[in-house]
Amino acid sequence: MEIFDLFKLKKMKANRLIWFAILFVIFLMLLMITKPYWGQQSSVFVNDQLQPMSQQELQNEKLRQDILKLRLENKKISSFLEPFSSYGTLITALVAITGVIVTIWRQIAQQEADRRQRENESLRRLDEKFTSIVANLCSKNEAIQVSAAVSIISFLRPEYEAFHDQVFMVLNANLKLQHSKSLNKLLIKGFEKAIRIQLQSVKKKDKHFELDLSGSNLYRVDLSGLDLSQADIAFSKLRGANLTKTNLYRVKGWK
């Protein structure tokens, strides 16, 4: 609101200057119109005061009057051109201000383009890192798999929201495979975080979303308080799972 008032005040000042300039130009025009009349009056007054002169003196006086007339005409021309000189200065100032505004706008546009480029580059590196982690989960080396399971959990942080769906799907798919107990525990730890984030996001968009947990190795998984209604848990290994206050309405495969 303060910025709007400041712009409004500047606009009022600019309007005042414009009106002042218009009035000044009108005054100059009136001055130019009336000046010849003053010059004529002065000439008449001088002529009336002249005493009988010789031929040479008359010629000198006529020459003096012509010079005076030329001076008055030159002065009128200068007075007439003076407002245009002021307008020229104003136009020059406006051009300079416009140039500054264009330069600033270009700098802002360039900064925005650089920012987008940095973001795209950062996202590209994250994509490459995520792809590498997913590939390492399929490695035959258990140490590499464990490292990948730990790394993929870091993509559940809020700043990596764009990867949350992929993390959930990768963890859910890997829990359907046979892994060592240590690796399976890490996958379940990540899955517990991922499913809460996933359900909170998906249920708002699609109330009829059906979760597929069939055939998953979910030993001692914590699913407490979650809405698993209509989920498919057929053949899932849920021994020791925490299902406190879990909504299991119309769950498929539940015995």
Domain chopping of the chain, boundaries: 2-122, 155-255
| Cross-strand pairs, 232 | 212, 252
In this prediction, the residues of the chain whose per-residue pLDDT falls under 50 are 1-7, 36-47, 49-50
CA angle 251, 158, 201 (to 5 degrees): 30
43-78 per-position pLDDT tens digit = 444 445 445 557 777 777 777 777 777 777 766 666
Q: Say if residues 251 and 231 touch (Cβ distance below 8 Å).
A: yes
CA angle 163, 164, 166 (to 5 degrees): 70
Q: Say if residues 234 and 214 touch (Cβ distance below 8 Å).
A: yes
Mapping DSSP to helix (H, G, I), strand (E, B) and coil, where does residue 242 land? Answer: strand
Nearest alpha carbon to residue 170 among 209, 136, 220: 136
pLDDT at 7: 42
Q: Say if residues 168 and 198 touch (Cβ distance below 8 Å).
A: yes
Length of the chain: 255
pLDDT at 3: 39
Tokens 């010079």: give the residue: 67
Mapping DSSP to helix (H, G, I), strand (E, B) and coil, where does residue 118 land? Answer: helix
Main-chain dihedrals φ then ψ at residue 217, nearest 5 degrees: -90, 90
- 0.75 exceeded by the pTM? no
Cα end-to-end distance, the chain, whole Å: 64
pLDDT at 148: 95
